[in-house]
Amino acid sequence: MTTPAASSDRVKVVSKLPGWLRQNLKVRTAQLGIDIQTAVEQGIAAWCGLASATASIDTAGAESFSTFLPPGQWEVFRGVTEERQVSLIQGLAQSVQLWLDTNPVPDVQRPDITRRVIVCNQKGGVGKTAITAGVGEALSEDSNTLYPVRVAKALAAALRAGKSMADGRESSTDPLEVEKLPGLGLRVLLVDFDPQSHLTHQLGAEPLSMNGDSLTNHMAGDPKGELKDLIVSVDDEHFGGRLHLLPSCHDAFLLDVRLSAVRAREAALERALKPLEAYYDVILVDCPPSLGLSMDAAAYYGRRRDGERPGQSGALIVVQAEDSSADAYDLLTNQIEDLRNDLGIDIDYLGVVVNLYDGRRGYIATSSLQGWIDIKDPRVVGLINDLKEQKEAVRMKQPLLSYAPASQQSVGMRALAREIS
């Protein structure tokens, strides 16, 4: 049952645990940010300190389980199991369960003020919709389940990973760049603010009827009902009812015209969405490729509010590694700066996402990527490669993270969500 082997100041022990109990242990330690070996050490110490054994645990089908413990602890534990007339496997299972019982699932960290992320770029076709959906999906995944996440934050490491992933290979630079982490478990609303309705279609929903109610009507001061009644849930099986969508309506093509007659039109989106904020931790707005009044309203909605920490809400700018994205970026940031100055507000940049990257395209791609990295303020917070899974998910009208949860793009979306959290 045991195989002592020196490892620094610890000794390797081998026993057995039921698969379900080992999985619970793996998830809980990840949630609390501690090592499995530390949890087992604490559980054994606590169990040995009890006056008697705890309730028996079903260990049928237990499989091999190894960990490292302080020298001598396993021998003490073995003696206690003999005194209590339980097997080592049963004693270990009780110890692990005791640790789980005394270290409960942490509460999901919810913001005091609903975070508002404006996903934008004046240029179309850069993948704003895919980033909006992917980040929202990553934010809303189950906090009691582990998912592969790319955790390397050094930009050089991200660049190396991006180049290798671009031609379909795993990164060979560091096997620890990807690890399993719990989902963030947040309540998320995706707002399709683009009259082209790409986000709505990609997630398998239908655009709202031109004859019914819409976000445009609410922004223009002509609502026909409650905006919350237009919201639909996205893939409840994977996201547990935490991910919702406010579909687009083609009447948004007329939004700028209708806003021109609205008082304080820059606050129109906020007036419409504010009643929904009590239900969500994060609201992501998929903006149209526009520099008109609708973009003014979106940027204003993402401004920093009184009492809100810098970097909680703001603009997430999506670009590609090519020259036209740089031109559009300048137009967008000029518009945001004008709003900042004209209205005396703070609009934070949450970062730049280089999307649809493929290093095989040569110098244009690699030099453009380096150009984005060199800007530094705002910094590059995500590098998403141009791979087939996103296109397949769009064709299947399914969320990327439930269609291909282990794909490199999904791994990158989770990293991006954590970078801006």
Q: Which DSSP letter does residue 309 get?
A: P
Residue ranges of domains in the chain = 6-102, 115-419
CA separation for the pair 222, 219 (Å, rounded): 8
What separation in angstroms does the CA of 234 have from each of 70, 171, 192, 199, 279?
Answer: 47, 32, 13, 12, 15
Q: Which CATH superfamily is domain 115-419 in?
A: P-loop containing nucleotide triphosphate hydrolases (3.40.50.300)
Q: Is 160 left (phi over 0), alpha (psi -120 to 50) or beta?
A: alpha
Structure tokens at 268: 């129109």
**Residue 173's pLDDT band (boundaries 50, 70, 90)?**
very low
Structure tokens at 127: 């993948």
**Residue type at position 18:** P
- Residues of the chain with pLDDT > 70, as a percent, come to 92
Say whether pLDDT at 161 is over 80: no
Give Cα 169 to chain centroid, integer Å: 23
Strand extents, DSSP E, 8-69: 10-17, 63-69
Q: What is the reported pLDDT for 155?
A: 45
For 160-189, b/e burial (b = at least 16 CB within 10 A) is bbbbbbbeeeebeeeeebbeebbbbbbbbb
State the number of CA atoms in the 13 A half-sphere of 193 facing the CB.
35
Residues 6+ positions from 385 with CB-CB distance below 8 Å = 162, 165, 166, 356, 357, 358, 408, 409, 412
What separation in angstroms does the CA of 1 have from each of 12, 63, 97, 130?
Answer: 11, 12, 20, 50
Say whether pLDDT at 154 is over 70: no
Question: Residues 285-306: what's their mean pLDDT?
Answer: 94
- Tell me the per-residue pLDDT of 7-45, one tens digit each, with 9 for 90 and over: 568 999 999 999 999 999 999 999 999 999 999 999 999
Q: What is the reported pLDDT for 411?
A: 94
Say whether pLDDT at 290 is over 90: no
Q: What is the reported pLDDT for 157?
A: 54
Say whether pLDDT at 253 is over 50: yes
- Tell me the per-residue pLDDT of 207-219, one tens digit each, with 9 for 90 and over: 999 999 999 999 9
